[in-house]
Amino acid sequence: MKLWQKDSTIISEQIQEFTVGRDKEFDLVLAKYDVEGSLAHTEMLNKVGLLSGDDWELIRVELKNIAARIEAGTFELQPEVEDIHSQIEIMLTAKLGDTGKKIHSGRSRNDQVAVDLKLYFRAEIKEIKELTLALFNLLQVLSDRHKDDLLPGYTHLQLAMPSSFGLWFGAYAESLADDMSLLAAAYKITNKNPLGSGAGYGSSLPLDRSLTTSLLHFNALHYNSVYAQMCRGKAERFVAMAMSSIAATLSRLSMDVCLYMNQNFGFLTFPDELTTGSSIMPHKKNPDVFELIRGKCNRIQAVPNELALLLTNLPSGYHREVQLTKEIIFPAIGDLKACLAIACTMLDNVKINSNILGDEKYLSLFTVERVNELVLQGVAFRDAYKQVAASVENGTFRFNGALHHTHEGSIGNLCTNEIREIMNQTLREFDN
């Protein structure tokens, strides 16, 4: 018997299995947040006079007991129970009798799951923030450590101009700083309270939604009860877009690493224990970790579009399709966190080839340096360009000068501190 089931109805097992889908799997992830939301809701019911002090204390103690079981890993969702919300209410009722039945006054499972998801996303965003920050910090350290180690720069995958490992690592650090801005925006939108919106149309009970907002440490309230329900799916899309941006940075970095590990490049290596071999080729050191980061992050970049297609053309109000957002975004969150963590492990052990540009094959990287030398001597740029191009064509081009790059963001001026301040400014947005 479901909590919402009428005495005269019998629910088809096939219908039940189809409509519940994988929800129970993800409900276990939401269990602690459901308890957290229920604690705030029942405290509010007590404050507005809808729940006696004695009843509230009994419910509060038992909810804390359930929370302890969840934390210990001994909590279970019974096979015959539809969802986490029902499981907790059934447990309270079994323990407290009629007192347990009072917990649902003034709310619907719609706003209950909405607040669970907001609490879950808020916690996960904070974890993603810390993992992203750890990778950012490592990239900045590597940028400073290898600022003088030169690296070929490419356009169209053709030799272009001199770069450096400092410039390369720093580029991905600044990319993560921009990605963090999107994550902060997702956090701000997620950090709003939908509890008390009920099924989307509020309640005739004298609820104090500002109180639950404070108790749950939300930054703001979803004021309009209809919009509080419409945020189901929308919050997921904002989180997914931020995740997609971070994933794009990781995927591109991974592609660079896979190229640079190739023996034809030979720019960097990793310890044997961080690479994989071949069952037939004894010499192989494969970049499997970065290939999997690339693949997983490319999948994550598809998540916003998958959510958009799922939710397209839904009218206002609750619709069962929003249940499916969990199947899309929950695994993606786990994948992104794993990719960020393993990227830190790998890059913390990277070994750089510090004498790459001494090879004659990289001579053409310095053509622009020679053009600029002539410009500094007073030769018009286009004439200098033609002069150097002619020397390349006839095989007489040589460059023996030193690199002298001084402008902001160049090899000789990485602006590491300025990039860090951008990140720090964004991090402060999570506190507002």
Choose the catalytic residue: 8, 12, 156, 279: 156
Structural tokens at position 193: 């309270």
156 annotated active-site: yes
Does 284 lie in the same domain as 166? yes
Q: Structural domain tally of the chain?
A: 3
Contact of 139 with 173, CB cutoff 8 Å:
yes
The answer to whether 196 and 170 have CB atoms below 8 angstroms apart is no
Query: What's the N-to-C CA distance of the chain in angstroms?
Result: 45
Residues 307 and 369 in one domain: no
3-class DSSP state of 253: helix
Structure tokens at 39: 């604690």
Within a domain: 291: yes
Structural domain includes residue 150: yes
| Helices and strands, number each (H, E), in the chain | 14, 6
- 248: which residues sit within 8 A by CB, 6+ positions away? 179, 297, 301
Sign of the alpha-carbon dihedral angle for 190, 192, 195, 200: negative
Choice among 52, 210, 278, 316 that is catalytic: 278
CA distances from 38 to 64, 228, 299 (A): 10, 18, 35
DSSP tag of 317: S
Task: Report in angstroms the alpha-carbon separations of 122 from 191, 327, 404, 423.
Answer: 6, 18, 46, 19
Question: What is the crossing angle of helices 23-47 and 53-72, to 10°?
Answer: 150
CB atoms inside a 10 Å sphere around CB 298: 15
Helices 109-145, 165-190: inter-axial angle, 10-degree rounding: 160
> Are 370 and 221 members of one domain?
no
68/187 same-domain check: no
Do 180 and 168 belong together in one domain? yes
Whether 60 and 26 map to the same domain: the answer is yes
Identify the residue whose tokens are 């909405």. Answer: 114
With respect to residue 419, please indicate whether it lies within any of the assigned structural domains. Answer: no
| Residue 420 belongs to a domain | no
**Alpha-helical regions (H) of 73-108:** 84-96
Do 32 and 101 have their domain in common?
yes
Residue 267 in tokens = 């720019």
Whether residues 225 and 345 fall in one domain = yes
Q: Mark whether 269 and 333 lie in a shared domain.
A: yes
Residue type, 42: T
Task: Please tell me the predicted confidence (pLDDT) of residue 18.
Answer: 75
**Could you tell me if residue 409 is inside a domain?**
no
Tokens of 127: 């974890």
pLDDT by position in tens, the chain (length 432): 455 455 555 667 777 677 666 777 788 999 999 999 999 999 999 999 999 999 999 999 999 999 999 999 999 988 888 889 999 999 999 999 999 999 999 999 999 999 999 999 999 999 999 999 999 999 999 999 999 999 999 999 999 999 999 999 999 999 999 999 999 999 999 999 999 999 999 999 999 999 999 999 999 999 999 999 999 999 999 999 999 999 999 999 999 999 999 999 999 999 999 888 777 888 888 899 999 999 999 999 999 999 999 999 889 988 888 989 999 999 999 999 999 999 999 999 999 999 899 899 999 999 999 999 999 999 999 999 999 999 999 999 999 878 989 999 999 999 999 999 999 999 999 986
Amino acid identity, residue 421? E
Say if CB 84 and CB 31 are below 8 A apart: yes
CATH of the domain at 246: 1.20.200.10
One domain, residues 365 and 335? no
Note whether 164 and 272 are same-domain residues.
Answer: yes
* Residues 53 and 60: beta-carbon distance below 8 Å: no
Residue 223 lies in domain: 131-205+216-356
Residue 422 domain-assigned (yes or no) = no
Q: What is the C-alpha separation between 367 and 369, in angstroms, rounded? A: 5
Tokens coding 189:
């939108």
Judge whether 278 counts as a catalytic residue.
yes
Q: Which domain CATH number covers 88? A: 1.10.275.10
Domain annotation covers residue 429: no
Dist CA 391 CA 375 (whole Å): 16
By CB neighbour count within 10 A (0-12 exposed, 13-18 middle, 19+ buried), where does 97 fall? exposed
Q: Name, in order, each residue with C-beta under 8 angstroms of 247's C-beta and a sequence gap of 6 or more.
A: 296, 297, 298, 300, 301, 336, 339
Q: What is the DSSP letter of 410?
A: B
Tokens 């907790």 belong to: 88
Q: Which residues pair with 286 in a beta bridge?
A: 276
pLDDT of residue 40: 98
- 69 and 197 in a single domain? The answer is no
Instruction: Give domain status of residue 138, yes or no.
Output: yes
Which residue in this structure is represented by tokens 């019974």?
A: 78
